[in-house]
Amino acid sequence: MSDQPSILPPDQTIVGALGMEFLGISNGVVKGRIPVTNRILQPLGLVHGGAMLTLAESLASGGTWEGVRHDGNAAMGQEITASLMRPITAGHVNGTATVRKRGRSAWVWDVEITDDDGNLCALVRATIAVRPARS
């Protein structure tokens, strides 16, 4: 058994299934996006709220992992809440996650979801648990 935690390649996870792109991480801010395709729409042709939350949780988890992995820790979603305010129907679902609290056992993030015109479409609060990585 390896000393490294088992990590799946992104293209074999929900990140790949949704076509998620990570656009950068710097100073407690993580950015990413998902292209709007039929696979992320609900039946009325709007981006499904679950796709917006998936982007938000992925950005917050990725940002937390980047901050704790060197200490032998892993990051995983613990709690998420959202206010969905405006639909997205084309272009990209854009996310900007900003860390608000870096705790020993959990990090808290605020995530803004926007459309390609910069309109605020959702506000998300995500708590990401920090736990020892499994070997």
Question: Among all residues, which ones are annotated catalytic?
Answer: 57
Cβ burial 67-81 (10 Å sphere, 16+ → b, else e): bbeeeebbbebbebe
Q: Which pairs with CB-CB distance under 8 Å and at least 24 residues apart come from 17-22? A: 18/51, 18/54, 18/55, 20/54, 20/55, 20/58, 22/59, 22/62
Rounded to whole angstroms, the Cα distance separating 78 from 74 reads: 12
